[in-house]
Structure 1
């Protein structure tokens, strides 16, 4: 085996350059050259990275808004009266029945409310994992933009939520 074959054999197609895009170690970095989610979403300068950070910041806000919207739809269903599609019970907490005044909403499987909640759950789950993958770029600027977007989104929407603990959260 000559030197050229030996190099090709051991390289296995890994790029050992300092481009930032091919760096697969899980360490935080502050480079401006960053591939984000797709091959076509590549930042090569500070302005492109800033624009991407703004987009990710806004995505964080929208994600928190989606979580609030799902809860608001659920709360609206609990206050629905006369809806044959929704069964509201208050005695789901054991023999005594009182749950501190909370109502448990049970949709029928084919009710429109359940279908809407299912579709929104799919959107929320997908968004959650996509945002997690953005954070896993380990780019300090993108991670900060995401965390700040989630914080601002929670600030805008969290005060209106009926519960503080979100049992539907996927990536926490």
Structure 2
């Protein structure tokens, strides 16, 4: 879902940019585009919830069984799923691994969720930072940096290799 959240932020920025761009025409009375980051973040969360609801609907409509828990692949056709209440074993011909993502951290650096944040916290910031340093040149980090640069932040990207 993180990629969807970032794309939603980019689309929010594009709406702001488009509105301010049109202000060069005297018949379009936009003086200045202001950003309400709290409303912007709420819109992102609304988009994510719509997608979650849509996926749930499609799963039910297409009679797809969703198992939640900790999965262990026992062999090429067997998965054991340890849920909160019970453990189930499933036999199947095909296995799709869709585990989601989790932000990585660096050795000896604690993500305190205040000054040092992950992409998860970046998508819920309450203020636009003056300077944002992104460690890592992956897609999510660069896109988040891009959003905040467009919103007026100075953005620095630090990576081990050339982008």
TM (norm. structure 2) is: 0.30
Q: Flag the structure with larger Rg.
A: 1
> Which has a greater percent of strand?
2
TM (norm. structure 1) is: 0.28
